[in-house]
Amino acid sequence: MKILISGVGGRMGREVAGMALQGVRGAVPVAGIDVVPMDTREFRTYTDWNDVEENPDCIIDFSHHTATGALLKYATEKGIPAVIATTGHTDAELAEIDEASKKIAIFRSANMSLGIALLVELAKTTAKTFPDADIEIIEKHHNRKLDAPSGTALLLANAIREIRTKAQLVFGRQGQAKREVDEIGVHAIRMGNIIGEHEVIVGTDTQTITLKHEAHSRALFAEGAMAAAEFLVGKPAGMYDMKSMIEAE
């Protein structure tokens, strides 16, 4: 499986490159692209999609959401599936991704961790079991992360809203207003070098259930993206996610 790494100069891009160079999931890195020029001995890198000469089997994207348009233009023109692991997309960019999925296979997830996929399902089950409980989501990341709340926190919140269809998201909390029954609180913490922690707290008058996932290494996200690429190659056009991959296994 020949892969092109978008955002190859970033932390996650380097993680993916390192794994691919070790042959994880049978991957071979044939090219990389990043806004910052860089040199690698193992494969060619570019700053412009128009200059890419290689023919990858799949793109793995850990770049920046503003690069989405150029990535999708290249991928759809070449007919190359793409794993989009970047977060912080605007509504317009998400619409672009949806439109592109009509032409190519796209795997999009706000978090590439299998553990997070499990957390999502547990959160939905808990929300269904305790329909009147208060639900709050707390996410923690390093002080360099740009988007808040995290894409994973929104993933969790929207999954719970599939069960609580009337729920409204409340970002942070301040002032003198009483908590409403249909609120789902979402709170972001930025400090130090925290890789990623996500906590779903479900509380009633008699008990509290806390569901938590903590990432110990960024390698787990790269590993998940590699698995997603392997899963995606050969798939027909459409939108795929962690649930798709888990159910296929």
Give the total residue count for the chain: 249
Report yes or no: 175 and 166 within 8 Å, Cβ to Cβ: no
Q: Are strands 2-6 and 58-61 parallel, antiparallel or unpaired?
A: parallel
Query: If residue 178 lies in a helix (H) or strand (E), which one and from where to where?
Result: none
**Taking Cα atoms as reference points, which of 146, 114, 84, 118 lies closest to residue 219?**
114
**In Å, how far are 57, 71, 73, 103 from 78, measured between CA atoms?**
10, 11, 9, 10
Helix ranges, 6-46 (H): 11-21
What is the C-alpha to C-alpha distance for residues 242 and 18, in angstroms, rounded to an integer?
22
Helix ranges, the chain (H): 11-21, 68-78, 91-100, 114-129, 151-161, 219-232, 242-248
Q: Active-site residues: which are they? A: 141, 145
Q: Are strands 82-84 and 105-108 parallel, antiparallel or unpaired?
A: parallel
Instruction: Give the contacts of 73 (CB within 8 A, at least 6 positions apart).
Output: 49
